[in-house]
Structures are given as C-alpha cells and as structure tokens.
Amino acid sequence: MRIECFISYEKDDRDIAIQIIERLQSECIEPWWDEKLSLVSDELTDEIKGAILNSQCFLVIWTENSVHSTWLRDESLILHGDKNDRHKIVSLAINEPLIPSPFNTNQLLHVQIKNNRIIDENELIKIIETIKSQIGIIGKNEHIISPRILGESWGCHDLAIEGPVPGSDLLLSFRPCGESGTFLLMHFDSTDGWVIDSLPGAGNRHSLLVNEKCLDEKELEYTDNDQTYLKIKNDVYFIRDPIRPYSIQIGAVRSMKPNAKPGIIEGNITEAELLELPTHFYWLSLTLAEILQHEETLKYLWQDSEKHKQSWGQEKYKQVRDAISKNPFSSMSLQQSICQFCDKQFKEKRQLSKKYGATLIANDFPFGPNFHYIAIVDEPVHSWEHLSYKQVLSLNKITHDYLQIEENRFASAGIQYGFNSTVRHLVLGARTQSSAGASIPHIHKQVWGMAPRTSNLAEQLISVCEAYSNINIDYQACYLRALKDADYVIWEDDYIALYVPYGQCSLHELQSIVKRPCANYVGFNSDEIESMSKAEFIVLQLYKALEINSFNNILISKLFNDSRAPNFRVVQTFVTREIDLAVSELSMLYVVDQHPRDSRNELVSAFNQIKNKITEEFKL
C-alpha cells in the first residue's frame, strides 16, 4: 500500500513534527512517522525503506538540530538517489538552517518559528497545502491519482488512501476522520487507453504497446481537432466499496452482456407474409414468438399456432403460446391470458392484504424458511418502464403496512425487499429479466424473511458504522456529506437522498439512503416510504432514458434485533446488469471501466431532461 506522506525529523524536533501530523490527520491525511514502526531500531530497516519508497510525499524537517543528523540524511538519500522519485521530497527549512548538500537543491519550503516553537497558523496552512499539492489533493475531499511513468511494476495499483477502520481489521478506500468528518475521495486517471500526446511519459508508454502488439504505430493513434491521441496500456485500480464487502476494479476490461438487439424484428410482418413462412416448424414459431416486436404480428402468430396444435402436441403448443403471451409487445389481452398475477382467482386464494391499488399475497414457493410475500400492482402493468409513481408507492405502502404487524414477520431475523420485473430487452431470442426470480412479467416486489444467523450483506457496513460511532463519528452521515460536496447526489428531499456511489458495482449504479438513522425497512415512517418511492420512480425513469434494460434492486439493512451501530441507515441499491454479475457476485470483485464521475455526468444530464415530467408525476 502506498503512503501519502512520510515525515522525517530529528527526535529533538518532535514537537514541531507533531503539530504538522495532527493537522494532516484533521485534513484526512494519515502520515507515516516513527509511531507507525512495528519494531524500533537504530538502523534503516526494510520497513522504513519500503514506506519511503511507497510514499507520495517525503517531508523532511530541517532545523539547526537536524542538519547534523545522519538519520535524516540516510532517509533522504533513499529517494534523492532516484531521479524518478526525487520530486517527492519536500524540504521544510525552519528558521533558515544550513541544509547540507545535495539536499538543499530539493523543493524548499521556508518557515519561521518563534522561540515558543509553535508554528504560526498561516505558516502551517502553507506547509499542509504544499504537502496536499504534492500528494495530488485538489480540494477538501478529492484526490487525483495519476499513473506513474511506466516502469517494470506498473499495471495494477493499490490506492494510497486506503486505510484501516479504527479498532478493526477492516480496510476501506474511503474514510472520515478528524472533526471535519469529510471523506477522502478520488478521481482516477483512467482513460480506457487513449491519452493526449503531451501527457508526461505518454510517448514511452505508447511505444511499449506498439512493440508488444507488433502493429503499425499509426494504427494506435489518431488526431481530432488538432489534438493527437495515443493508445497506451491502461492502468487498473482497485478500491474497497465503502458500503458493501466488495472490491471494485476500475480499468479497461470487464465482462459484458451484449447490449445490442441482434435478434429483434422491429417492423410489421403482415398476415400474408406470415403465411409464407414455414411456421409449422415449432422452433421457428417459438423464435418468432420471442423476437417479434409488433402487436398485430404477434396476434397473427397466436392465431396461426392453433393450426399446429395437433402436430406439435400439447407441450410445444403451450410453449409457443406462453412465449407470445410473455412478449411485452403482445396485446395486453394476450399477456393477461397467461399471467397468474392478472388472475383474480389466483390472487384471492393467496391474498393477505388489498389496498392502495395493490395486492399482497403469500408465495406458494418461499425462498426462505420464515415467509415470502409478493406485492403486486393490481393494474396489468407488465413492464417497469410503464410504472407510474402512484403504482410504485402502492407496492411500498401495502408491504410496509403489513409488516408493521409483528406477527406477520413470524420468527424472521430480518427482511430483504426488491423489484422483480420482466424487461423489454430481447437478446438472441432469449428474454432477459431484471432478477433471477422474475419468471412472471407482471410488475411485483418480493419480500422474504431472513433466517436467524443468516448472512447479511450489511455486515461490513454495520461494523464500520459501529467502529466510527465509538469515536463519535457518524460514518454514513459523513459519506453522504462527501457525496454532496462532490455533486454526486442526483435528487434529495428531507428524508431520502439518491446518489451515484463511489464504490459502483456497475456503470450507472444508483443508491438511496435514509437521512435519519434507521435500521431496516420496518422502521421507515410514512414520509420515508413516500420519499423512497419517489427515489425508485426517478431511478426507473433514468434507466428508461438511458436505455438501460435490466437491474438488480435490494435493501442493505440490519436484522431486527441488531443493536450495534445506532447511527446505521438503510441503503437501497440499483445495480445495472450491464456486466456479468454472476461471476462478480461469486468473486466479490466488480469490474467497471470508468470513474463514477462519468456515470454521474450521464445520469445528471438524463435527469435534467426528465425533471419536469417527474415533478408533474409526483403532483398526481
């Protein structure tokens, strides 16, 4: 792990060093100094050498005492002897000491201190700003992490700002510290391999790629608006998700699900044209049932299938008709003909509650041992793109009301809750859905009980919140404040904030958080249910505007009897399925090829275009 700032000083100047160290810590910068040593020694150990070489800034404090210190000279020589690392050295000259050669040629910072040895506030600010500039901090909460000039070990970098959670063995890339409570955030210089030719080291890195690929150099560069761009091997960065127990890789390669629609037939096939096709072949009728995108054509196919019932047999006949009925471009009457959630008798048999324009039913095949409920929109809505805000609210209100009655939770230790819906995205004749359990196209939400001693996605977040609450820091409040400072919050009201997370598992991931401490969904009040529904509706409209076809939605919440971390707040996640999540979920490593700021910019642009429509919907 790289070190942000290594501080070298003579032991008689410890009082001066402590003033700088404490101010750095209040600015969310954790310096490395002799207190960090695992073993005290009179020699330069490998531990010290490693910390110096991995530092982004090497601050050496020169005073009348320290200019005679062999220790300071030896530490400084570690970097001074390497021309690529020499720029890291910041020499702090206190009261104009005679700094020995060759160290008097490094970046010099002159500071005057009076006899009381207290650094003046203005001088202290000057020192801290110089260190921050060397590290690459451009604001109170933003780091610039730039690729170093290409060397033997380049390629994958652990971020310098990763640090321990107090009182635990957890490491996070984002952390609050000091009275300011702000986070260290970062911007990644991740270019997907294309950089401007004036970038330091770009030419060398470009040549390395050319030699490796044995390609014509002209194939790996282009000019646009008089600016030349070179192709280089991109750097890859790893961060730890501040909310979930995941690692995030930001780089140029990820496992993609195809986003094209190669199998869809968008035009109208007439009844006469359909008669010319050999639809008596079962496989052809089934394929057409999945890829046709015109209501009338699907109606013709439905009627045509009746002619082949005897030759196909009952099973194949039913499969074709099911596929036609589940096609979201079929007429609503066809969709309703096979939809269990449109079947009044089916719902009445299992009905637990019915109000707000929604029905809550018991599921015949529960995933969990305690309970499994399904909240269903009463109207025949078979695509989440068609959901109104009122319908989203109805699903949340009926579920929340029912779970307020304790016996309706049985012996469950907690609950999970999220969307399941079919999507209008057909790929190579196979219909994809927003969740593995979404076998029914009718819009619904699933609620399932978590068994005692069950694994909980929120466990890391609870532990982190608890660790910081022990030192009087509200972790999630600080995180939300940092997101606001960085303009990552897309929408908020008095109760809920919707934002782009820094630890995004996928492009365009969105999260919402309850502003007051709230342990789980049952603890929401009516205002929070309404605001949560607004945030969900905005997410649906944003994904519709960006033509995002599928997503996973789940709550990160505590179990009912978990008294840890009293400041914990429920987080709702919307992870787009633009990547192969199955592999990621098993490995706990998510690969995203752009910085979350890029996702934020695209989402904000989309939100500005649909903001008026959303506002009008909320008024209805």
Q: Convert the pLDDT of each residue in 270-298 to its tens digit.
A: 777 777 778 788 888 888 887 787 888 88
Cα(543)–Cα(209) distance, integer angstroms? 37
27 or 469, higher pLDDT: 469
CB 299 within 8 A of CB 321: no
**Residues 6+ away with beta carbon under 8 Å from 158:** 1, 2, 238
Cα(26)–Cα(182) distance, integer angstroms? 10
Domain segments of the chain as ranges: 3-135, 157-250, 277-338, 340-452
**Mean pLDDT within 355-382:** 83
CATH topology of domain 3-135: Rossmann fold (3.40.50)
424 or 283, higher pLDDT: 283
Task: Indicate the CATH number for domain 340-452.
Answer: 3.30.428.10
Residue 52 DSSP code: H
With tokens 């036609």, the residue in question is: 324
**Mean pLDDT within 170-199:** 61
* Per-chain mean pLDDT for the chain: 80
pTM confidence score? 0.70
Torsion of CA 163, 565, 571, 174, to 10 degrees: -10
Hey, what are 56's tokens?
């982004």
> Where is average pLDDT lowest: 228-232, 255-259, 457-461?
255-259
Q: How many CB atoms lie within 10 A of CB 30?
A: 19
Cα(516)–Cα(317) distance, integer angstroms? 54
CB 175 within 8 A of CB 162: no
Asked if the domains at 3-135 and 340-452 fall in one CATH topology, the answer is no
Q: What is the pLDDT of residue 584?
A: 55
Cα(467)–Cα(242) distance, integer angstroms? 13
Cα(351)–Cα(345) distance, integer angstroms? 10
Q: What is the pLDDT of residue 178?
A: 53
CB 331 within 8 A of CB 298: yes
Cα(438)–Cα(422) distance, integer angstroms? 6
Q: What is the pLDDT of residue 42?
A: 64
**Residues 6+ away with beta carbon under 8 Å from 473:** 176, 177, 181
Amino acid at 255: S
